[in-house]
Each structure stands twice: as C-alpha cells, then as structure tokens.
Structure 1
C-alpha cells in the first residue's frame, strides 16, 4: 500500500513481543464520499487532498491486510455528524430514526471502528439526534467529561477496555478514554443547559485514568481538544478549549493521545509526562478524512505487558480509491442529498461571489446581513445592525438559475439567528475585536491576502451592516489592534456611546464563540431558533429573483491612513 510498511516485530530473546497498530481519524464533519455538495463535483483543494470515510475505509483495509486485523484498532476523536449538506439532510430534512441509520454511522460500523469520542459539533442538532446516532453505532461513543446534571455521572460511556487476544502470548488489554470539549456548554447552551455539564479534560482525566490504567496494559486517550494550550472561550468557562498536550504532561498513566478539534495535522509529537518522566505520543490527522493517523506500539511481556516503543505517522486518503463496499452501501443516501441540494429555488440577475468579502464590502455578505436584519427587525423598534462573517471564500452564486447548494454555500454552518441589544460603545468594541483579523501594515500596499491576514479564522471576522440606514466605518490597519475603527456613523451621524442598536448575530457568536466583548451578556431581543442558512433559502424562494444590484454598496472600507488598501487575492 502507499505510504505504509509494517515494521518487523521487536526481537528480544526469551520474551514475548507484540506490536499493536491503532488507526485514528477526527473531525470527519459529515464527509462520507470525496464529494463537494456545494460545487456538485468531486472534492478538491489547493493541496489536492481527498476527503471522506469511503477513502478512510480503503486505508484501514490496506493496513489490516498488511499487519493483520487482529493487530489493529480504529478510533475517532469526534465531530462526525455536522458539517456537510449530507449531515444537515439526515438531521433536519429526513431525520435519522431507528429504522434509518445515519450514513456516517453505517460507514463507521462497516469499517469496524473500535470507539469514538464525542465532539462538540455532535450537539448541534440537539440531544435527540445525538442519542439516536449513538444507539446506531456498533461501538461505544465516549465522553468522560460530559456529566449528567441530575446524577453527577458521565452521560456517555467514559471509557472502554478492548482485549486483543491473538498476541502469541497473554492478551493485551487496551484502555480507551474519551474526552470532549468544555466549550459545548457555551456553543450549544440551548441544547445542554440544565441537562449536561462539561468539566475540564485534565480534571476528568486525573479522575478516570487511574481506573483505566488498573485494567489496561496500554492507555490511549481520544480527546476532542487541540494539542496546543489555547481557548476562544475567555472566562466563560473555567477550563481551556485546547489542552491535549497538557493532559499528556499532567496526567500519569497515559501512553498516547489521539487529538481532535483543532483541524491541524500532527504526524507525531512526544510529550514527557511531568510525573512519570515517560514519553506520551500525540497525533492528529487532518480533518474531513484527508488523513488517517497510524500509531504503532511495541509491547514486551515479562510477567506483564510493557510498552517499549511507540511511533506515529499520517496516511493521505488522496493516494487510494474509495472503498466500493462503502459506495454500494451508501450511494442511495448520498444521491438523495445531491438531488436535494441541486433543486432550483429561484434565479439570480448576476453572479455574486464571496471571494473578496474579507477585504471589501460585497453584495454576497450584504445579502446575508440584510436577511438577518429583516428577521430581527420583526422583534424590535430599535435600529437594526447585522453582523456576519465570510465563512466560505469559494462561495459563489451564478447568474441564472439558483439552487439550494448555491445559496447554502454562502452559509456553510448550521447557526441560528439571535438579536441582542448593544450600545454604540459596545458595538465599537466588538468591531475593534473583529479588526484583529488583520496584520498591521505601514501603508496602503499593494499586498497579498496573506500579508494582511493575521492568524484569525475567517469566521471570527464580523462585518457590520445597517438595515434602515447605513452603518459606515473604516478599518485602518496602519493602526495597532484596538484602535482601528474610524468614523463609525449611523445614517451619516457619528454613533454616540450610549446609542442603542438591535444587533443580529449567529448563536455561536451570541453564546461567546470567539470571545468577542459584551455580546454574550447582552440582553436578547430575538431568538426563535431560526437557521440562518434556511432564512437565506426562504428569502430567495419568496423573492424569486436575487439581484446583486439590490445589495451593492460601500459601508465599510479597509484603509491605511485613510487610503484604501490594495490587496490581491490570487491565493
């Protein structure tokens, strides 16, 4: 097979030896096949990666054929049932039931996964969908730090011990502990508040690892938390969002951590545990099934199994074809979604693109903001301002017929709409936080997009729009972060600090996502659990025609010393 060759078993005179191979995926996000539903074609990106469980299945089969199925376990670190139109379809359009297995569950069952951690996006569609998905799995869904409020006990199985019998000697017992993200308490508050709590990963690992270690020869933690210590949660929860490396350093008894959530690739990293002095292996494969981690553990038996060496690498799915067995099993489910997203919902008078929405006021994002603002205006008499982010740089609505997938491509997340009350001073603070998206520059350029973009996700750059009157401002990136919003005005009048707005935002931002100031504690004026993507689709259906000319304007500018910044987006 491409990219992997089994290493010979370690030879130690008079002792039994065994090498266990553990395969890992994470952040699959509803990617079943190598297909882009928004572009209606095979998936491709600038690095020519492939995606999907059908390709993961081929890699798993090849490794098993090489080393022996009895020597392999397969794990996943979470975020499985949200992220594509396929995931949306089987949660909202044709929700999964006992009779209809979720295609991601069917694929993982067919592959033969050993265990998976619960990801934060597993909660996006509510507990009913999650519990139905859990029941459909033929392997345990683990989360030691998702705790039932009523009982104080884990709401999901905290760990599983898998016994590997065919070792040429005594069986090897592998303990697998699952940990999820404490940010769920913030990001999906509407679904979990009063039902579940989410203690920190380190704290729960300190409690559970000794129990798992006592029953196991090898302990692997599957953590839906990035390796490097960081958090977008501020002081909203007392636990960090990303801390897998800290878990490995702090908690004795762990041999390896399969990392998730951060969407970065870690082929192999060793962390020394501060208590035992022993190395702990960390690995994270690239998201959406672009990569699969391969961990190898050399064990030696001398009265008990002891880990003597470990290593890991990542295997690309672009090097293999889709498994025809998975394709045959789930082609019908996939085809339903393709038909759904290609259904005509209206027409567009001219092409609309989000390609430059990070750097200039575009009709594409003004359309999103307009629809959001219209809905919030139904619940308040305050002047309405709307905020949205350039979620998808590739989003484009063509001239002519418009389909579900064309509009959905503008808004690729399953967020709902919330309206909150903010003062002028608070809105200015929020826009200053958003302006941290950019690096400081000495002049107006020209620059490449990479030269002006800081290390901030696109979804944390909010762009403002006034509904009944323009909200105008410059973002001066020649200034240091925190002092970049210049000339903030509503209907041509400078915005007083005490002036009040109704501000339309998504539920992620209102719940504290991105740690923007004021917004999580602001009074809520509108919250009807309306999905923003569906509001956009419904607007096009009702209007019949989407005309970019109706959303053309320049309410905000990116400047340096008052001069518009020149940026090339040839990335």
Structure 2
C-alpha cells in the first residue's frame, strides 16, 4: 500500500500538573499531540504505522565537546565526543531520515557534572533572566519529556524547581512522592497522541522513574520533603493507568541501571538498578530508555515474567551525550487501537557530528564566562602531583584532600569532641586529576574533586575504623604473588554482581598522628587490612576517633558500615571542593612536605606488590 504523508498538527502544549510545581501531590499527566518537529511526514498506512523514540541520558551538564578540567576539546581513548550541541545534530539527522513520527526523551542526570553546571547552580544561580545552559540547549532540541536523575537533587529542591520552570518539556518522576500523601510531586507520566493518516491516533504513554538512592545520596536536601519508593512498585501503579487511558505504547524512561543491584546494599528496601526488574515484573511495558549506569547498551531484550512470550527492549546510550538511543517501532491496526509488531533499538555515536550552531550560539556567552572562571589562578604547587596511581598507592594529591578535610573538621569541633584524634577518608574521583608545578587554577582543584559533596565529621571507634577499611578493600581483585600486575588486574573488582567504582575505594589518613596499614589482596574480602596502627601502635578497638567524611558517604552512599548511624559531631554544609579552593587561596602554596606521607600499601602475603 502507498504510504501517505502525515497531516500537520498543532505544536504540543505542556499542561502543568495542578500543584506539582509547588511540590504537592499530583497524578495527572500531560496530554499533547506531537509537534511538527516530531510528527514526521508519513510512515503509516490504513493498517500499519511506525514510531521512533530517540533518547539521551546522563548528560551531566555537557553542552559542548569540551573538557573544562583540561581546558581543551574533550577526547578519550575511544575518541568519543560529548555534549548536547552534537546530540542535536544527530537527533535532527535521524528525524530527517524518517518519514514516521519521532519522540525525544531523556533519562536524567542533567544539571550536575561540569563546571558549567556548577557555576549556574552555585556561583550565579539560575532564576529571573539567568537561564540554565542545559535548559537553553535541551529546549532547542525539542524534548518531549525527561525523567529526573538523582543528581537533579544535588543543589536542592528550589533550584531544581527553577530549572523545571525553564524547560519546554516536563520532568517526570512517578516515584518522587509526597511523604504524607505518597502521591508524585512531579508529573508521573506524559501521554502523546500522534496523528496517523487514515487511522486512529497512536497514543503513547511515557512514564518517568528516578532513583530510590536519592533518599540516601541527597538526604540533606530531600529528607521530610520527598520520598523515593521503588521503580517496580510505582510502575505497577501507573502503567495500568496509562493503559486505561488508551495508550497503545508504553515507554519507560528510567534513571536506573539494567544490572540489578544496589551500591547502598540493603540500606534501602528499594533496588538502585531496577530497569530489568521493571521489564520483568510490570505488565504492558514495551521499551525502557535506561540511565544512571553510564553504560552503552545498544539493545537488550528482557523476557517478561507476567506476559508470556513478551520481550521488553532496553537501550542505554552511554553518557555525556556520547551516544543517542534510537528505538524503532512497527505497529499494526487492530480495530481502533494499535499493536506493536516489532521493536528494534541501537545507540548512535555523536563523534562524527558537527556541533549544532543554534545550541552553540545559545550557550556561548555562559560557556565563555565559565572558562574564564575555572582558569583563574588561586595559588601555586611546589611540585607536580598526579592522581594517576591513586587507586594502587598512597599519593600526595589524595593526601591533600584528606588533610584539608581533617583540618576543617578539627577546627570545627567543640566540647569534649575537640580532644578526639581526627581521621579523614577520600576516594580517587578522577585518575586524570593533577596539579602542575607552579600556578594552580580553580579547574585544577575542581578536576581533583569533581562532586558537589559537603563535609561532615562522625564519631567512630577503632574497631569501626577497621571495619570501614575492610569494606573499602572490596575494591581490589584477589591476586597472589608480588607481581608485577597492571592496575586493571587488581582494581575495580566485581562484588555482588556489580563492578566496584573508583569512588567507592576510600583510603583513610590521620591528621594528629599517622594511621598506617597494609592491604593484603591475596586474602579474601574481610581479612585484608593488616598492621593497622595509629601513632605507631596497634589501633585500640575502643579508642574514639572523628572521621572527616563527605555527605554522600555519611548518608549511606556505597553502603560503608557504621557511618550512617554514627554520631555526627561536625556539619556546617561546607562544600569540600570549595574548602580545597579556599585552602589554596589562604595558604598560597600547596607543598606536599606539609601533609603527604605513604601510610598504606598493597601487599600479597605480606610482601609489597609491584603495579605497572
């Protein structure tokens, strides 16, 4: 049969859910027709039609193919490119290549992750005439909806609500709920009604799900204001509602990885990475745009446990705009409804695309402001320091973080706590971080501490410090012999089905006296920390310490023992990155002789190992 062009329809209009913007309960949804930009010009007959879904996730404040920490174009070993400007070019190309309707979605983590995002949250917060650069860029693409990511909450709910108000599309969060009513405080879903030539409208429901870990990771921002129940539990409530409203297709945009498990262990009753569980356990879900895990998953089919022979298609398009997801659906008419006959998916690289000139122009002034900001000199370094080997040895640049954190906590302790010895934990967030010998800029420091964590102090015993270190050493793979080993051969071990990331490998250092220990990675997990000493003597299990710790870790991020329930003796809501910058400004020079020492080492059977 001859395909006919779709008739033009009016641009979509977003209906604000009653009360949602004010943070009260709401379960209504946006209902809109596809706009001319997304409707396409055909792709249907009286009996069949097609639909495409394009998607992004974990853009993390990247508009340009630019590395603010290196002050250069972004590049990696695979020569990926990043940024919304390139994403738009790919999306426009894919729209033009299709004669059928196209919808565009995002799976969250948008407003945190680069100095560009930080600047317009903390230095010059958005509001009034100051529009978030990600809002400018994403509005030009013409997204139909985006799920909330966990990092959307890093700067507090008021800033998130301001960002939401600047978007031309809804932020969806079916499992971000009011603590009292248990109803969503963001729109749970949007329904798009697409005109089909010589046939009934194609009705598409888009459900947005965010991550339960927000309750832990941003506890200070959300406690008592929002709760985050499980993805499966909320999907089971709202997918039937979408079907009851006539949706032929149900797409889930989920900020939750596909490898089932949680970095926070059993600290919450809801799974962090639950996209596969949604596919398996929730009837009538057709496809899931996956986010959060920073993986490239072109196509994964998951068998439903509730609908025989049904396969749910999952696709995750990497992160930072390195890929664009594409789902292509074919449908056939059954009476006045449409039924899916096939779904395929893939991820498309952006590194062959030119930056879209409209996006580039829209954000150029803000980009230039931030480049100038991050390249301003704040002090000097006596020697060059690098984090390249921070995952296998005690290096001065990580000692610097521990020193500044411990020093700040020590200065803020009062009463009897002021006499307690202070320790500090730090993880290698960015192996590429370095300080040059000579001038140190804001971007050098920001490159070392890439997260917007705040500093706390908690009280632990010596025995609890030992437990904490043993838990951290899950990071290492079990090997025997002195080596030599490559870094990859001993780090990022798989534990409980998930790869342990660098940011969940904590070393601990002492401020008032050295805390020293060996890590015997020939031993099984739980028995690796040996020769643990404080001030040259075996640590007293009963001695009390204050541990300087970031809010992510203290609130349960990573599932480390004791710290989430330990007494908090210091909490001034100071951002650790800013504390590092302020320390450099105040002291002028970073000299490792003031704070650095090799207090821990990797061994096998007690013999130091060689890492090449």
Which TM-score band (shorter chain)? over 0.9
Partner residue of 2:332 out of 284, 293, 300: 300
Partner of 2:65: 34
The CA RMSD measured in Å over matched residues stands at: 1.4
Pairing 1:338–2:371 present = yes
**2:602–2:609 Cα contact (<8 Å) kept:** yes
Q: Which stretches in structure 2 are left out of the alignment for 5+ residues?
A: 1-41, 494-498
Pairing 1:212–2:277 present = no
Equivalents in 1 of 2:338, 2:197: separation in Å?
A: 11
1:80-479 alignment runs, 5 A limit: 80-215=110-245, 216-277=247-308, 278-303=310-335, 304-378=337-411, 379=413, 380-453=418-491, 454=493, 455-479=499-523
TM-score of the pair, normalised by structure 1: 0.96
How much does 1:551 deviate?
A: 3.1
**1:98–1:136 Cα contact (<8 Å) kept:** no
How much does 1:360 deviate?
A: 1.1
Partner of 1:6: none
**1:245–1:271 Cα contact (<8 Å) kept:** yes
Partner of 2:36: none
Deviates more, 1:18-27 or 1:148-157: 148-157
How much does 1:562 deviate?
A: 2.1
SS in 2 for 1:197: coil
Partner of 2:49: 18
Equivalents in 2 of 1:98, 1:312: separation in Å?
A: 40
SS in 1 for 2:419: coil
Deviates more, 1:524-533 or 1:232-241: 232-241
TM-score of the pair, normalised by structure 2: 0.90
Partner residue of 1:486 out of 489, 510, 530: 530
**2:47–2:332 Cα contact (<8 Å) kept:** yes
**2:258–2:275 Cα contact (<8 Å) kept:** yes
Equivalents in 1 of 2:477, 2:283: separation in Å?
A: 41
How much does 1:170 deviate?
A: 2.1
SS in 1 for 2:564: helix
**1:353–1:397 Cα contact (<8 Å) kept:** yes
1:48-87 alignment runs, 5 A limit: 48-68=79-99, 71-87=101-117
Equivalents in 2 of 1:402, 1:499: separation in Å?
A: 39
How much does 1:168 deviate?
A: 4.7
How much does 1:545 deviate?
A: 1.0
Equivalents in 1 of 2:580, 2:598: separation in Å?
A: 21
Partner residue of 2:577 out of 527, 533, 547: 533
Pairing 1:542–2:586 present = yes
Partner of 2:610: 566
CA deviation map 1:516-535 (0-9, x unaligned): 11111111011111100000
How much does 1:332 deviate?
A: 0.5
Equivalents in 2 of 1:126, 1:167: separation in Å?
A: 45
How much does 1:548 deviate?
A: 2.5
SS in 1 for 2:252: strand
Partner of 2:28: none
Equivalents in 2 of 1:282, 1:167: separation in Å?
A: 29
CA deviation map 1:10-45 (0-9, x unaligned): 99xx85211111001001111111000000000011
**1:24–1:292 Cα contact (<8 Å) kept:** yes
**1:19–1:298 Cα contact (<8 Å) kept:** yes
Equivalents in 2 of 1:266, 1:361: separation in Å?
A: 35
How much does 1:295 deviate?
A: 0.4
Equivalents in 1 of 2:131, 2:305: separation in Å?
A: 44
SS in 1 for 2:545: strand
**2:275–2:288 Cα contact (<8 Å) kept:** yes
Equivalents in 1 of 2:446, 2:258: separation in Å?
A: 32
CA deviation map 1:71-102 (0-9, x unaligned): 11000000000011111000000000032211
How much does 1:151 deviate?
A: 3.3
CA deviation map 1:308-327 (0-9, x unaligned): 11000000011111111110
**1:55–1:323 Cα contact (<8 Å) kept:** yes
